[in-house]
Structure 1
């Protein structure tokens, strides 16, 4: 089919060429031969009267026009994808849809694990590809490679709708036999101690609490920086270090590792995790169903644990079964 003399089938090839900047990789993505992909590139060059891809050494770079085409071409294809997926109803019980969701390992631990458990009962054939947030996350959401992003406000992508899911506060976590045997620290003890920090997302994103503390008069001495939240307990055990973590995660870790929660001695505002989706997938019935499941699961989350006095390390236990969603 042609529109304004352009073969619309070539838009898919153009999108692959613009994103991979390689005829070979574009051919692999589209399951085409390299000669066929090269022929498509030739026709696209003729239509746009532009080279689109220019060899520079052993690589190829996009022309200025090609750079300008990336977003509109991707947006058109996403809108077409939404149209082709439109159905009067969505049946989760028989759906084989595969969702790609990007988030931190904190969100996966305290929230998405339960979402996936509920989805297993409601939509047993549905699949989930859970990925860590990375510097490429904005590109992944813009291109539709990731259907959903769950992140705090500062890590969301401009230009796409979002809604709040759940809130959390901050608590401290220390080794079970930490010298401080109480349930809290003084501000001086907190700032004089060595800390385990977390910089996540592949691009060394700092956590919400670290962003706020860095603007104050006193700074934390971070002796160890972990690439994710999951490793923090292992880096605390056998030391006198302190970690500041979202309370939901700190409470969960105190149940699984020989670590203890302490009240955070400094004032850090609570934060909200938001779910975000592409603006052109607003009416995708499958994504709408999954967003509802996310909201329902978030509403059923227990309140943030504030009584840390009774927190003692215990043996790992199986997660409690939650009410049926839907």
Structure 2
């Protein structure tokens, strides 16, 4: 199909070329040969009268025009994709649709097991692909890389729809045989002790780190890790403090880990986790079903 003498299939190629800035990787994504993708790039260059991708050393960079085209083209393709999903009815027990969901490992460890359990009980045939959170969650929605984000409310974009999912609070946790477990968790103890904290790879700081930073609270961080869920195990045998979501601590203690929980001496805001989805998918019956499933899983989690 052509529009104003442009083969609209070339927009898909241009989108891949802009995202990867590499002919081979774009060809691989679209299951094309490298020569076919090179031919598409040549046709796009002739149509726009612009190089679009410029060779600089061993890499390719976007031309100014390609940078301007990136968001409008991605927006068009996401809108088309969302429109194609607007089929009458959605049956999760008959659909083979894959839902891509960006989550933290905290959510994977606490809420998502209930989500999977419910899909199994209901005989669902859909596929769930859980992806790690990234530095720019909104971009994942914009580019169609994710169908649903689950993230702290403060990190939600105003550009897309969102809905509250659950609330948790933070607490301090230590090994129950450590010196820290013998007394109270005072501010002096908190600031003088070593800490272990989670630092998301190539992403925003974790919510509790962000909260401490806003209040000017200094922690002597001795250990950093990319995972929330591993911290309860890492703390055993140490004289370190971790600030974690209470649901995560409660689950670890229920599983028999030798831990002791203390209220944080620092007043931290509640953690409000939200779901966010693309504005063009607001009436997508599959996304509506997925959101409802998540809320039902929260009810099961709270029991």
The structural deviation recorded for 1:218 is 4.4
Partner of 2:245: 246
Higher helix share: 2
Structure 2 SS opposite 1:87? coil
Per the alignment, residue 227 of structure 1 pairs with 226
Unaligned runs of 5+ in 1: 304-326
Stretch deviating more after TM superposition (179-188 or 61-70): 179-188
Show structure 2 runs of 5+ residues with no match: none
Rounded to whole Å, the distance in 1 between the matches of 2:38 and 2:235 is: 55
What secondary structure does 2:302 align onto? coil
Q: CA deviation at 1:31?
A: 1.3
Question: 1:216 — aligned with what?
Answer: 215
Q: CA deviation at 1:263?
A: 2.2
Q: Would you say the 8 A contact 1:184–1:263 is kept in 2? A: no
Alignment check: 8 A CA contact 1:138 1:157 kept: yes
Taking a change above 3 Å as real, the CA distance of residues 71 and 142 of structure 1, as seen in their structure-2 partners, is same
How many residues were matched structurally? Answer: 302
Q: 112-121 or 173-182, which moves further after superposition? A: 173-182
Per-residue deviation, 1:217: 5.3
Which consecutive segments of 4 or more residues in structure 1 shift more than 3 A?
Answer: 180-184, 215-218
- Structure 2 contact 136–203 (Cα < 8 Å) conserved: no
Matched, 1:178 2:178: yes
Aligned-pair Cα RMSD in Å? 1.9
Distance in 2 (CA, whole Å) between partners of 1:297 and 1:174 is 29
Query: Distance in 1 between the 2:236 and 2:46 partners?
Result: 64
Corresponding residue number in structure 2 for 1:318: none
Partner of 1:42: 42
User: Structure 1 residues 87 and 123, CA, compared in 2 at 3 Å: closer, same or farther?
Assistant: farther
CA distance in 2, matches of 1:29, 1:69: 20
**1:262-302 deviation digits (Å, cap 9, x = unpaired):** 22222112120011111122222111110111122223432
The CA deviation at 1:81 is 1.1
Contact map agreement 1:172 1:242 (CA 8 A) in 2: yes
Say which SS state the counterpart of residue 171 (structure 2) adopts.
strand
Q: What are the Cα deviations for residues 83-134 of structure 1, in whole angstroms up to 9, with x where unaligned?
A: 2222110011111111111111001111122112112222432111112212
Q: TM-score by structure 2 length?
A: 0.93
Q: Which residue of 2 aligns with 1:71?
A: 71
Once the two structures are TM-superposed, the CA of residue 158 in structure 1 deviates from its matched residue by 4.3
> Contact conserved, 1:170 with 1:244, CA < 8 A, in 2?
yes
State how 1:138-157 maps to structure 2 within 5 Å: 138-157=138-157
Structure-1 separation of matches of 2:190 and 2:235: 15
State the TM-score, normalized to the length of structure 1.
0.87
| Cα distance between partner residues in 2 of 1:56 and 1:250 | 50
